[in-house]
């Protein structure tokens, strides 16, 4: 093998490390979760509905490829993305799949067909509507994800606390719920709950990773009550 060929094989071999690391749907889900903010393996296991052992193994593959890293957090260890480029990689893969694979569109349309009575908003449509009417924007992700980054002015109303906190929401305004992105079901469940109780509610389809990639300003910190 000549030096040129050896060089090319070595370079493309390094690039292939990234491909091998993300070539599993569960690892992509973990990257999507980590785009929301750092988390322990136990939290990631609960959110992805995997065992702690399986979650740890998948994280190890991502760590070996240097896509994630571990940071001590008191007595616990938190996983986080190595940098913003890792989330950008996930978003690029997601958008390519949306663009090229009819199966992905068909799965999404079939899943949403009987679950949404209104078209979802995107960030541009949200900003336009906010100029025309007073909306109530709620973030239904867990509180730690909200604290890591959220739409400015959004209220933190985690899905598991939504029913108990419904009296906090005005009934004379449209409530816009968002979660982790277009394939997160938390906002869908929130909209269903709100509509069943007489609220005018709609889902915001995209999430923090999309807004961050678009350069939109985000807020951090807990929700002042």
The helices-and-strands tally (H runs, E runs) of the chain is: 11, 7
The domain spans of the chain are 3-88, 110-213
CATH class of domain segment(s) 110-213: alpha beta
Cβ-based neighbours of 108, under 8 Å, separated by 6 or more: 182, 183
pTM score over 0.95: no
Q: Do domains 3-88 and 110-213 have the same CATH topology?
A: no
The token duo for 222 is 């807990």
- Residues 170/136, Cβ–Cβ less than 8 Å: yes
Q: What string of pLDDT tens digits covers the 225 residues of the chain?
A: 688 899 999 999 999 999 999 999 999 999 999 999 999 999 999 999 999 999 999 999 999 999 999 998 888 899 999 999 999 999 999 999 999 999 998 888 888 776 655 567 888 888 888 888 889 999 999 999 999 999 999 999 999 999 999 999 999 999 999 999 999 999 999 999 999 999 999 999 899 999 999 999 999 998 766
Q: Tell me what pLDDT residue 112 has.
A: 77
- Residues 169/210, Cβ–Cβ less than 8 Å: no
Question: Is 179 considered catalytic here?
Answer: yes
What CATH number was assigned to the domain covering residues 3-88? 1.10.10.10
Output phi, psi for 139, to 5 deg.
-105, 115
Catalytic residue among 35, 87, 179, 184: 179
């Amino acid at each position: 093998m000549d030096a040129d060929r050896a060089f090319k094989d070595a370079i493309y071999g390094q690039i292939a490390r990234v491909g091998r690391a993300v070539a599993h749907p569960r690892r992509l889900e973990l990257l999507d979760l980590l785009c929301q903010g750092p988390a322990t393996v136990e939290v990631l296991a609960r959110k992805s509905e995997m065992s702690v052992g399986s979650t740890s193994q998948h994280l190890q593959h991502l760590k070996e490829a240097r896509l994630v890293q571990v940071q001590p957090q008191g007595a616990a260890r938190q996983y986080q993305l190595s940098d913003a480029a890792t989330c950008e990689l996930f978003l690029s893969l997601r958008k390519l799949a949306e663009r090229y694979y009819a199966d992905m569109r068909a799965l999404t349309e079939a899943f949403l067909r009987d679950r949404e009575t209104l078209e979802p908003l995107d960030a541009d449509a949200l900003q336009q509507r906010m100029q025309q009417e007073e909306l109530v924007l709620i973030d239904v992700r867990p509180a730690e994800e909200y604290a890591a980054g959220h739409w400015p002015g959004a209220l933190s109303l985690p899905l598991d606390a939504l029913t108990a906190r419904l009296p906090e929401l005005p009934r004379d305004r449209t409530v816009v719920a968002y979660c982790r992105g277009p394939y997160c079901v938390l906002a869908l469940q929130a909209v269903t709950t709100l509509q069943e109780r007489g609220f005018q509610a709609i889902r915001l389809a995209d999430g923090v990773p999309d807004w961050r990639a678009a350069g939109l300003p985000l807020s951090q910190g807990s929700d002042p009550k």
